[in-house]
Chains A and B, each alone.
Chain A
Amino acid sequence: MKKVKFRHSAARVLVLSISLFLSINTLILAQEETSPTDSQEEDVQETVQGPEESNVESDVSGDAAAGKALFNSLCAACHKLDGNSIGPPLRGVAERRDIAWLQSWIKNSQALISSGDEQAVEIYNEYGQVAMPPFPQLDDTDIENILAYTSEPKAVPESKQAGSDGAAAPGAGGISTDIVLGILAFVLLMLLVILYLVNKTLRRFATASGVPLPAKKVTRKPIYRSFIENQFLVLVTAVALLLVSGYMMYGYFMQVGIDQGYQPVQPIHFSHKIHAGDNQVECKFCHSSARVSKHSGIPSLNVCMNCHKSIGEVAEETGTDEYSKDFYDKEIQKLYTAVGWDPAAQAYTGETEPVKWIRIHNLPDFAYFNHSQHVEVGGIACQTCHGPVEEMEIMYQNAPLTMGWCINCHRETNVMAEGNEYYEKVHEELSQKYGVENLTVAQMGGNECMKCHY
């Protein structure tokens, strides 16, 4: 008997040790998962620093970092480093033109043109006689700084390499855990085999030495039989099963038509993260009709072009592992195709092709929702319903958009009555009636059926 007992506990120990092993292992994995982001951040810093070192080679002396700041605030509206915009591309302009000429051009280009300078007139005509505003506030050092920045060579390959290095790091960690796991599995398998062999040998010894093996127990009525014969238990189980399946059915049916998390692939990969998050573009800057209309409105393409006329490509650092700079640039090209913009000629071709976005937030036709009521009158932030849009690389439906969800918010949210003359009288009367300081939307009548269903 003792031996039998021992055998059982051995199996238990085995199971325990396996689970212990596994749990430790997952901990290790979790730690490793966090590491790549750190390394990526470092990489990003590296890419930013990278070019700085290289400017030593340029023939223009100046502080490129200061120049970059100036460039971005003053020049970037009309000039890109590479590629045409309203004005010519500026990379390497210091090599193409005389520095003194550039100095006087930047300070007051019109004067230079009217003085009849040949180069000046030529470039003025080449770019459609659009006058470049004078920058008298820039002194020679500032201009030198800018030119230093524009003289930097393109830094594309470096950052790419850095990116791929970073991507490789977590991969290495993955391989090592796989090996550990493999070894573990092998060891376990060996243990099982050994256990079996030991058992077999012991039995053989026992038979040989005449030790009686424990006889099989008398067969009792199997448990399922007694279960079936116990009508009470059957009934209770049946009821429980019915309830559970009813609950699950209900759950299933209640989620029909609820598209929370709906994240379709859009014809143009538009990243709200880049626009609303990284660049902090205000929501209503593009979705301007949310201020006055029931629709928030998908911005028309001309709104996109207000910025994208001069933003033909994303910055180096915008590209990620998942979506490279190339990928984003191609998406901007899609916009250009749709709106009919020829970036080379800096002109509209007139051939347009409307973008068929896939609508994410769909209310049923019998529900009326007005954005301006919530956004403008109620002062509700867009994120309250739409979630952390500024973090969404791909837009998805954040809220369930069910009636319960609407009603709940109406019960909990106070009417923003302060400073709104419309509410003055009614708010005073009703808050007295309900004995509260601030009325909720529901108390104001916002939960009446026909406020939304007509």
Chain B
Amino acid sequence: MSSNKKYWQSVEELKEKSSAVETLPQNEFGVEIPTDEFLGDKKTLEGSTTSRRDFLKYVGFSTAAASLAACEGPVIRSIPYVVQPDRIVPGVANYYATTVADGFDFSGVLVKTREGRPIKIEQNTLANTGANARVQASVLGLYDSKRIKRPKSNGEVVSWEQLDRDVRQGLNAVSGEIVILTQTFASPSTTRLINDFSQQYGNVRHVVYDTVSENAALNAFQARYGERALPNYDFSQAETIVSVGADFLGDWAGGGYDAQYARGRVPQNGRMSRHIQFESTYSLTGANADKRVPVKLSEQRAVLAALSSYISGGASTSNLPTAVDDAVVKAVSQLRRSGSRGVVVTGIPDEDAQSLVLSINEALGSQVMDTENPRMIRQGNAAAVQQLVQDMNAGTIGALLIAGVNPAYSLPNADEFVEGLQNVGMSIAFSMKEDETAKMCNFIAATPHFLESWGDVQLTKNTFSIIQPTIRPLFDTRQFQDCLLRWSDNNISYYDYIRETWEPSIGTATWSDIIHDGAFQASAPSGIAASGNDTAAPVINNEATALRNLSAAPEAEGYELELYTSVGLGDGQHANNPWLQEFPDPITRASWDNYLKVSRADAAELGLENENASDGALNGSYVRITVGDTVVDNVPVYIQPGQAKGTVAIALGYGKKEGIQEEMQVGVNAYPLYKNFSSFQNVKIEKVGGVHEFAAVQQQRTLMGRGDIIKETTLEVFNTQDPHVWNKMPEVSLNHVETPVTSPDVDLWNGFDRTQGHHFNMSIDLNACTGCGACVIACHIENNVPVVGKREVRKFRDMHWLRIDRYFSSEPTFSEDIAKKENMSGLGDSLSQFGELEDPAENPQTVFQPMLCQHCNHAPCETVCPVTATMHGRQGQNMMVYNRCVGTRYCANNCPYKVRRFNWFRYNKNEEFDYHMNNDLGRMVLNPDVTVRSRGVMEKCSFCIQKTQKTILDAKRDGRAIQGDEFETACSLACDKGAIVFGDVNDETSLVKRLNEDGRTYRALEYIGTKPNVMYRVKVRNSTEA
């Protein structure tokens, strides 16, 4: 059943005597408006010489002056091309396929360019890698005002010729080894190039460094299969997924698994996959799981060991807590039943665990895991990096070339690295920013953005992708590869070099086909040996030892810390990107910050608090984290429902200080805690003084009892009952007869005939939505949505047109709570489980609901606008007319979905909001088809009318009818999971038409009678236990 569930948004709501929650329903404002602040001070008021009349005079004069000044029109100049490139037509967008390969994210993408200027990144369906929020946002990196514009030598700007001369002199006279320290390029041509370079200079070592390491998984795979790679998974094939601490919907093993996962999550023919997640902190993956079991980090090892031995039948008991053991047993029987369609994955940073998982999947005969065509997008070697730091300190390194990584910031032992750098003869940083590392180096070779570069990428063993430039370099920059070519006496360009690499292995495809499609299937060009000099397979423990090591969980002291990467910032490369900083975390809903996530019980124990300030904004305590002798101070605390007791978690990638704007220098750097590249650490936590101010969205309001904004059911009910049972149409009483709310008899308004022409609808599948947020960023970019900064977000003035609301809930139904109580046996059970019942924040379930303007056919906002600035279009859009809006905000107050956004300030060309819209470079990313709104007007989702209008115009020009699913919005385009479907509901052939008639479809808050044009599909959980 769907209706009797209590949803809540923040732990504040669960407190019995929270002043914020209690006052909210009674008062419009949580606190009294502090009028006394400016009216109470009688003395000042009387002392003022400005009377009310004077004030009015000033206002009148300045208004008149301003309007007179506005009478003179400016002279606008238009400068056409001297020679217009063939393909560029002003006003028409061009698309190019390229690849993001920054060492952390690897995605084939399409780049939209206008007048030769890249303005948006979209997923390339041919590459089939999806494009997450960071990839979507990476276009702004091109227009980053902090980019280094020309090469530097010891802090002085030099010419490339000078730099070439100096570097070559240094390389030729080098005493000691030359080391090239790079990100994972996964590029056959770069590998070949580094080999060439090594031949030229002889004593060259290539060290690959992944900022966030997958070292254990790589070692385990290499030991077993002889290749340094990661197994590939196809979760759409899976029937049962058991994950032990693997955030595979996040950045686990390079990420990008969510689209296939989502495909298996949509019930088809009564079947969907079942996903069981054992994890410590609340991850995106855990939020999507059917069953989430919070376990400590140390217990994760034991869980995996138990899984392994149960599957192999080696043991039938474990020393896990009963509840967890029970979950493991059930998971195993489910896996057994699924046979080859079951899969186990783990994120435990331990070779034993990783190799054990490979064995388990082999034992299961899992089709989901693919070891034939493994992923090549992580190549880092932790041992080699540590060796390098040692060698640097020993003084045996003559020259160090650093490309694509920032070890002085991201190494756990960064100070050792910085110290060692003093002993290196010559250091060259290839960097786009003057970051921590670049600042320390002798030379900074300014590199171009990937949208200005050439390259090739080996995504998996047989899938390749091309990086092609979409704009001429904005600054005097040169690619790392071009530098190496120049320095190894090779005078061809890197572009020619890539073609040379591929010429023999390109097969039947032509070069232009490859460039056009972006991605292609091939076998790796022959004769390119891996350039990392650690080709010897790592030695790992055999299975029995591994199992023994894992089950003997080390007794942990203090708290167990998990280091994770956030959906917004990842490894921290994009820290200077305001879109990503303002992107609210899917689970915590906090933006502009990282924080230590602790469980409620631990918080109570440590005396840590999260409190909603009077206006609803979140405040938190500070703690000091100690690992060994490393101390990280003043870490804000966020109480995370569902966080396993005894564990805490913090995101990497924040706290950057160099090469980054002051506004974006937020959070604390957690890399010093990332000892031995292990994401699990034992830490000591102490409370320190002070109160941290969070900027978290969605927590200023309560649900006001409108819990049925979400509808969910279980697979069992879904399969066995009629839709009206689990998706009940709300009814209202008309003459004492319950009448469905869709009936025209109960409607306040007269309906219109909406069957003519296009009528746009959007369908959002709560089952397919994983909450990844790619749509949020895509919408932000497409519609020129401003960034407002932390201070404003804290005031809930965030401008996102599309947000992904996260709702927690406890047990699926009340009846389950009762069943739980009935089934308790013995003192042990009742002690633990009564506690669970009392604390809904122990292990809540999550639903993500993308919320945007619902484009109600009977829109409450339209009737209250005094100037008709918002009204309905025939095509179903609720139209917002900026030039008519006078900013009364009546519409926002009357909107039941709270999707309207008000421009409290002018967010462009305003020093107070020094983000990309405040500099000429950053403004180049603006979409020329969408107005940049000014202060004092309301704005909201337009159903991307600029895109639908373009589709219509293209069809008109071609003189053809529009059929099928030609219409798209930015969010539907960005969603590689197919969760957001947009289209014309009057078109019989469209997918949205079919979804409209589906039993799972409902509309948010339908009983209000707003008749939205956005529909949601009931979330179905597979709660069937085997």
Chain A interface (Cβ < 8 Å from any Cβ of B): 256-257, 259, 264, 289, 292-295, 297-303, 338-340, 352-359, 362, 364-368, 370, 372-373, 376-377, 419-426, 429-430, 433, 445, 448-451, 453-454
Contact = CB atoms under 8 A, between A and B. Distances in A.
B90 interface: yes
A415 to B, nearest CB: 10
B80 A299 contact: yes
A448 B931 contact: no
Contact of B881 (A292, A293, A449): A449
B474 interface: no
27 contacts: A259-B73, A293-B92, A294-B91, A294-B929, A297-B89, A300-B82, A356-B79, A357-B77, A357-B79, A359-B77, A359-B78, A373-B956, A419-B959, A420-B956, A422-B960, A423-B956, A424-B961, A426-B756, A429-B755, A429-B757, A430-B756, A430-B757, A445-B757, A449-B871, A453-B881, A453-B882, A454-B931
B77 A302 contact: no
Contacts of B728: none
Contact of B953 (A295, A359, A377): A377
A429 to B, nearest CB: 4
A298 B78 contact: yes
A298 B80 CA distance: 6
A450 B931 CA distance: 12
B84 interface: yes
Given A256-B70, A300-B80, A358-B76, A377 B956 contact: yes
B932 interface: yes
B881 A368 contact: no
Nearest to A348: B83
Interface stretch (B573-581, B618-626, B810-818, B872-880): B872-880
A357 B79 CA distance: 6
Contact of A448 (B89, B92, B879, B932): B879
B90 A293 contact: yes
Contacts of A450: 873, 877, 879-881, 942, 945
A87 to B, nearest CB: 24
A301 B946 contact: no
A365 B931 contact: yes
Contacts of A353: 82
A11 to B, nearest CB: 47
B725 interface: no
Contacts of A377: 953, 956-957
Nearest to B945: A454
B929 A362 contact: no
B55 interface: no
Contacts, number: 147
B526 interface: no
A301 B83 contact: yes
Nearest to B962: A422
Interface residues of B, number: 51
A429 B76 contact: no
B90 A302 contact: no
Contact of B873 (A300, A367, A448): A448
B92 A292 contact: yes
Contacts of A293: 89-92
A424 B958 CA distance: 13
Given A421-B960, A424-B961, A448-B874, A366 B92 contact: no
- Counting from the closest, the 6 A-B pairs by CB-CB distance are A293-B91, A300-B84, A450-B879, A300-B81, A295-B91, A298-B80
B883 interface: yes
A366 B82 contact: no
A212 B79 CA distance: 85
Given A256-B71, A365-B931, A419-B959, A357 B82 contact: no
Nearest to A450: B879
A295 B92 CA distance: 9
Contacts of A365: 931-932
Interface string B938-956: 0000100110010011011
B882 A354 contact: no
Contacts of A425: 961
A367 B883 CA distance: 9
Interface string B678-721: 00000000000000000000000000000000000000000000
Contacts of A364: 883
Given A300-B83, A358-B76, A377-B953, 4 more contacts: A293-B91, A424-B961, A445-B757, A448-B879
Contacts of A359: 76-78
A395 to B, nearest CB: 12
Contacts of A423: 956
Contacts of A449: 871, 873, 879, 881, 884
A358 B75 contact: yes
A299 B90 CA distance: 10
A373 B955 CA distance: 11
B930 interface: yes
Given A297-B91, A426-B757, A454-B931, A445 B874 contact: yes
Contacts of A259: 73
A422 B955 contact: yes
B76 A362 contact: yes
A297 B88 CA distance: 11
Contacts of B73: 257, 259, 362
B907 to A, nearest CB: 15
Interface string B82-104: 11100001111000000000000
A208 B495 CA distance: 119
Contacts of A299: 80
Contacts of B78: 298, 356-359
Contacts of B91: 289, 293-295, 297
Contacts of B958: 422
Contacts of B957: 292, 372, 376-377
B946 A289 contact: no
A345 to B, nearest CB: 18
Given A294-B91, A422-B956, A429-B757, A302 B873 contact: no
A445 B82 contact: no
A36 B875 CA distance: 60
Contacts of B71: 256-257
